[in-house]
Amino acid sequence: MSVKKKINHAVGKAIHDYNMIMDKENILVCVSGGKDSLALLNILFSFQKKAPVDYNIFPVYIDLGFKNSFAKELKAYVNEHYGPLRIEYTDYGVYAHSENNKVNPCFLCSKLRRKRFFEIAQELGCQKIALGHNKDDIIETFFINMLYAGRLDTMKPGQSFFDDKFQIIRPLSYLDKDEIIEFCLKSDFPEFVNSCPSDGMSKRETIRDLLNNLYNENGHVKRNIFKAMGQVIND
């Protein structure tokens, strides 16, 4: 099976299993410039052309205020291939890494971005907010929460917020990170370099290294973990 068919099958199954997209819905797609979000944007626009339901896509990028921003280049790329990209210029990343912040910079930055995405979704009339998290992200988040917060919880393929006013959807939930990378390479997507000073230095990187060692020892480990997490994901 080609990588394109694998991608379409996995995303289609996730959308079906969790009723991610309904007729006449507006979907805000969170674009970061990373491979996952570019793949998500491409796939949702591709599905839009052949889906049995009619839905609208609103790509949004939140610039975190770091130097060497690629916001203009990202906007030019998205505008050319998919349609207007809305850019929100903020200082979230700079503030999260400043002396004014006493908590984990990644936690605060993520919290501020998510709050703003909800606000923009309300402004645009979007019922759904699509994020590019994949199977690896979901597994890593489970271990981060278990080891560092003492709770059994993770991101879910579909999650409702504010009494079902909004729903976060993750159409790439059934895809491995490697499959998405392969898809991006074959699709010749551009690369946008992350300028965040915490990139590659977070707890997630520590957990990722730990899990990769387990995956390399036994090819069934990732599948078994994800299967065992089913109760947590669907709770």
- Domain containing 74: what range? 3-233
User: Can you tell me the distance from the alpha carbon of 179 to that of 3, in angstroms, rounded to the nearest whole number?
Assistant: 7
Q: What percent of the chain has pLDDT over 90?
A: 82
User: Is the pLDDT score of 14 beyond 90?
Assistant: yes
pLDDT at 15 over 90: yes
Does an H or E element contain 10, and which?
helix 3-17
What is the pLDDT, as a whole number, of residue 103? 79
pLDDT of residue 151 exceeding 80: yes
Helix (H, G, I), strand (E, B) or coil at 115: helix
d(CA 131, CA 149): 23
Task: Return the structure tokens found at 148.
Answer: 């560092």
Which of 18, 55, 63, 5 lies closest to 182 in space, CA to CA? 5
* More confident: 203 or 11: 11
Residue 128 — φ and ψ, nearest 5°?
Answer: -120, 145
Report residue 51's pLDDT band, with 50, 70 and 90 as the boundaries: confident
pLDDT of residue 204: 87
Supply the CATH number for residue 133's domain. 3.40.50.620
Give the model's pLDDT for residue 225.
95
Percent of the chain with pLDDT strictly greater than 70: 99
DSSP state of 232: H
Average pLDDT, the chain: 93
Angle separating helix axes 135-144 and 221-228, nearest 10 degrees: 70
H/E run at residue 87: strand 86-89
Hey, what are 76's tokens? Answer: 């030019």
Res. 200: pLDDT tops 80: no
Task: Write down the pLDDT at residue 2.
Answer: 84
As for how many domains the chain has, the answer is 1
**More confident of the two residues 129 and 235:** 129
Residue 235 has pLDDT above 80, yes or no: no
pTM for the whole structure: 0.94
